[in-house]
Amino acid sequence: MSSISDVVSSLTGNSNLGDSSKVKNKKTSQTYTKDYGTTFGDVELSDKAKDYYKELRSKYSDMDFVIVSADKKEEAKSNLASFGNANKMVVVIGEDEVEQMANDESMRNKYEGIIEMARQASSQLSDAAAGNSDILSYGITTDSDGNTSFFAVMNKANDSASERISEIREKRKEKAAAQEKIEEKRAENAEAKEKLDEKRKTAKEEDTEVLTASTVEGLLKKISEFTIQKRTNNIETDSEKMLGRSIDFTV
């Protein structure tokens, strides 16, 4: 699967952050830093790219960015569930692409166009997430050729319906509240960010499936098919429930 973890994924530069400015997720390569926000791998941008990335995140403050180091692209692909946010479009972007965007106007226009397209599509996925508790998170990835892929992380655990749905909805509300606090005070809220990362990691460790499609419409169709199939698998008829549990002695 290609990804804005691939695409908007690979860079170089330098960061003078001290240990106190970083919060690491012990079970993944995710880190929260003052300069970069959420990172995956050891990200280092040039001063010019660092300034540009700050502007990019500010310009698209209604989206959630994850920047990926060049050597962690493949690992990032398998960790999409931990990047997700059920309340914001997630843009997983590589450090190399950010560096190119900072130094090449044509590349900047190309990738900002992709991000803008994702922003316009985010309301559809947000509405879908609001009405479907199986959607744990969603976002966009892209490769260095500009090929995009929308993704949705789905809960596929076949536990009992209403109780599980309620629990997932509650977790999503908690994540949203934590994320809002982080947005208001990113620098001072490292501890809350770590807790949010743990919640995202929990979602990943649950029984999940990542759906991908090249368009939002394609992804929404896959989400619908997934939900129907899951509900079908969870529904037993009365006769199926009784199968092997009773004997009919009537003639």
Asked if residue 245 has pLDDT above 60, the reply is no
SS3 121: helix
Please name the residue that has the structure tokens 């209604």: 62
SS3 133: coil
Asked if residue 28 has pLDDT above 90, the reply is no
Q: What is the pLDDT of residues 161-216, one digit of tens each?
A: 445 555 656 666 676 666 666 666 655 555 655 554 555 455 545 578 889 998 99
| Res 45: pLDDT | 94
Please name the residue that has the structure tokens 């690992």: 75
SS3 39: strand
**Tokens at residue 128, please?**
């879908």
For 113, residues 6+ apart whose C-beta sits below 8 A from its C-beta are none
Higher pLDDT, 122 or 86: 122
**Tokens at residue 236, please?**
């037993």
Give residue 31's pLDDT band: very low, low, confident or very high (50, 70, 90).
confident
Higher pLDDT, 134 or 160: 134
Please compute Rg for the chain using Cα positions.
Answer: 20
Give residue 3's pLDDT band: very low, low, confident or very high (50, 70, 90).
very low
- Give the DSSP letter string of 47-78: HHHHHHHHHHHHHTTTSEEEEE-GGGHHHHHT
| Res 2: pLDDT | 37
